[in-house]
Amino acid sequence: MHAVYNFVAGPLLWVTAAVFLGGVLYRLVSMALLARKKDLVVYSYMDLRYALRSIMHWLAPFGSLNSRRRPVFTIVTFTFHVCLFLVPIFLFAHVVLWKQSWNVSWWYISEATGDVLTLVVIAACLFFLVRRLVLPDVKYLSSASDFVILALVAAPFVTGFWTYHQWIGFRTMGIVHILSGEILLMAIPFTKLSHMIFFPFMRGYMGSEFGAVRHARDW
Amino acid sequence: MVAPATQDKPKIHDMGIAQGAAKLTPERIEVVIRQFLKNETGARLKAYLETCVHCGLCSEACHFYLSNDNDPAFAPAAKVKQTLGEIVKHKGRVSPAFIEKACEIAHTECNLCRRCAMYCPFGIDVAYLMLVMRRICHLLGTTPQYLQDTAHSHSATLNQMWVKEDEWIDSLQWQEEEAQEEIPKLRIPLEKEGADVFYSVIGPEPKFRAQLIYQAAVIMNTAGVNWTMPATPGWDNSDMCMYSGDNEMMARLKRAHFETAMRLKVKRIVMGECGHAFRSVYDMGNRALGWRMPPIPVVHAIEFYYELLKSGRIRIAKKYPTPVTIHDPCNVVRGRGLHEMLRYVADALCEKVVEMHPNREHNYCCSAGGGVINTGPPFKNKRVTGNRVKAEQLFRVKTKGVKTVIAPCHNCHGGLEDIIHVNQLGLELKFLGDLIYETMEKPE
């Protein structure tokens, strides 16, 4: 058990960091080079002002017409994405680990808050799952990989919650927790989770075309 | 090998698609698609396909989806999944039957109106993806017959309607003579070098709607515009090759159009009331030729009429009395942001303008654009029933007393005419030119 823990919390963590950071960098650079080679329009029309205008409208809750038309989905998806970043970075248990390993620390959220935010993420994942199973158009679009990705996202939160509350088998669960977090991070650059990396560029490009060329709004 | 895209819809027979597909073999398809993907597509296709999280947020953007009782197969992302998604996933190893189905989806279930780009948080451009699919169809020789016929006309005559050079000049002179009965000094100047305005129209104007040229001539003469029309091929600004995936011909057509303007040394091109032609001149043809923006200023009729009315060069004698509504054409509204100018013009011409909702950038497409109406009779019912939401929109404004629909786009006219007819809405369709001609002060 200790050996496994030491492995996932040691060497594998380094591998994860390398794959995640290297992967993000690789995807960005290779995509930028591909665009330079095959989609020069992207460089010709990208316009910082209009890119930001569009991105800001889409990042602001209810800033786009579609998000106003779907208030429930908007609230769920925004809180989901916010918690998704808050919990891993600002959870007390995680901040402590950073402190131990690197002697760096920052602001953290209370344990109760962390608990609630974790539950929010899990609930949101369930919401997305039900949506995929119930709404005909989303169901039609969904393939096995969409469910796997959803499970990948939910896993660290479910296992983390389990571990924190020291339910049965929490030591094993702790290892699963670290492992699932690592898998999630490594998956980001190479799956549909890469929308995290490409969102600003895609929305920015569409915003640039709509704003600078077509003089219209795209939200 | 992948089976045909699954869609429980009645099979529509199109000779162009069916006979094209009959000549295909899986090996040929694979070779063509692989070469195409390698040589002509890149970051955009990759990023769009790899990041779509299948959230379904785009579904309700599409009039086909809404009008077909929210049939999931018509959702924008679903159309991508059934076509390019499969092709890329299987690296081009798809069957001729699959290509047939994908061809029908790309050509007749998407108007490339780009409304879904405004509903996708990531800004995935489904119109671009459908054009990529149409390009594949073109390279494989499976384009709907009627659309391909138009594309052939473009390549043979440089206009959409097989209008010969002498027939073109003849039509203009005929309209000039007709109009001279009303305004004796009226001229339709041909080949006038250094004019302020090169007035360009689409092929169907001299062919079927010559009165629009008449009206434009009256407006130009009354406003005292220094204008000209060319006597040579290059006069037609339309571009069905842009929609059939024949990018080489698209570039040839736009080159002829721009070069005609440059040869005449005009200050700018003013285009008639057409949306797709505007898209081809302002957004796509110029890119195909390597120009970031058109090499000569291009103005759509809406903007031109706005200028004439705002500066008082055209004065309105009596406003159009009955209530009208405005249909926002996607290619000049989402494609050029002319919606407020359109409203300024409509208000200047009409007593009462009743808005349809959603409107402006969020308007529903006419379901004719994107080359869909040009796929002809085989797909007419599909196109009209695929836009029930537009009929409902029109019906709602009809209950508010609207009698007339302003649609400053030829394709929108064609599409809306069918929708009005099939749904027995009894509404009249007008171009802005029709209304200006009717309401303006004319010289004695």
Which of A145, A202, A203, A217 is the best mutation test for B, with the most CBs of B within 10 A?
A202
B54 vs A37: CB contact, 8 Å cut-off? no
Q: Which of B42, B60, B78 sits opposite A37 (nearest CB)?
A: B42
**How many residues make up chain B in this entry?**
444
- Please state the pTM of the whole predicted model: 0.95
Residues in chain B closer than 8 A to A141 (CB atoms): 54, 56, 72, 75, 77-78, 81
pLDDT band at B6 (very low <50, low <70, confident <90, very high): low
Closest CA to B143 of B21, B17, B29, B14: B17
Give residues 314 to 353 of B whose Cβ lies within 8 Å of A: 333-337, 339
Chain segment B198-208, per-residue pLDDT in tens: 999 999 999 99
**Across the interface, do B52 and A34 touch by the CB < 8 Å criterion?**
no
Angle at A201 between CA A199 and CA A155, to 5 degrees: 25
E runs forming strands in B125-250? 197-200, 227-228
Q: Which of these ranges, A90-94, B223-227, B397-401, has the smallest mean pLDDT?
A: A90-94
Q: Which of A204, A35, A177, A82 is nearest to B122 (CA)?
A: A204
In angstroms, what is the C-alpha Rg of chain B?
22
Q: What pLDDT, on a 0 to 100 scale, did the predictor assign at position A9? A: 87
> What does the pLDDT read at residue B7?
56
Nearest to B237 by CA among B199, B292, B265: B199
Quote the percentage of chain A above a pLDDT of 70. Answer: 100
Rounded to whole angstroms, the Cα distance separating A200 from A54 reads: 9
Cβ distance of B51 and A136 shorter than 8 Å: no
d(CA B148, CA B107): 11
Q: In angstroms, what is the C-alpha Rg of chain A?
A: 20
Tell me the pLDDT tens digit for each residue of A87-118. Answer: 999 999 999 999 998 999 999 999 999 999 99
pLDDT value at position B444? Answer: 74
Decide: B159 and B169 in contact? Cβ < 8 Å: no
Distances (CA, A) of B302 to B159, B256, B336: 23, 24, 11
Nearest CA in chain A to B37: A38
- Identify the closest residue of chain B to A70 by CA–CA distance: B57
pLDDT of residue B8: 63
Q: Tell me if chain B has a CB within 8 Å of the CB of A2.
A: no
H or E segment and range at residue A67: helix A65-69
Which 349-388 residues of chain B touch chain A by CB within 8 A? Answer: 361-362
Q: For B381-403, what is the mean pLDDT?
A: 97
Angstrom distance (rounded) from CA B128 to CA B32: 19
Which pLDDT score is estimated for B179? Answer: 96
CB contact under 8 A, A199 and B121: yes
CB B328 within 8 A of CB B339: yes
Check pLDDT > 70 for residue A58. yes
* Selected residues 286-305 of chain B with any CB under 8 Å from a CB in chain A: 287, 292-293
C-beta neighbour count of A12 within 10 angstroms: 17
pLDDT at B4 over 80: no
Residues of A numbered 160-189 whose beta carbons fall under 8 angstroms of chain B's beta carbons: which are they?
none
**Closest alpha carbon within chain B to A204:** B123
A112-129 mean pLDDT: 97
pLDDT band at B2 (very low <50, low <70, confident <90, very high): low
Q: What is the pLDDT of residue B120?
A: 96
Which of A150-154, B5-9, B186-190, B214-218 bottoms out in mean pLDDT, i.e. has the lowest?
Answer: B5-9
Helix (H) or strand (E) holding B228: strand B227-228
Q: Which residue has the tokens 């409902």?
A: B392
Predicted confidence band at A1 (pLDDT cuts at 50, 70, 90)?
A: confident
pLDDT at residue A92 in the model: 92
Specify the pLDDT at position B47: 96
Cis preceding linkage at B358, omega within 30: yes
B414 close to B280: Cβ distance less than 8 angstroms:
no
Question: ipTM of this predicted complex?
Answer: 0.95
Chain A nearest C-alpha distance from B395 (Å): 23
Confidence category of residue B11, pLDDT binned at 50, 70, 90: confident
Which residues in chain A touch residue B124, judged by CB atoms under 8 angstroms apart?
A: 202
Question: pLDDT digit string (tens) for A24-45?
Answer: 999 999 999 999 999 999 999 9
Q: Tell me: pLDDT of B96 over 70.
A: yes
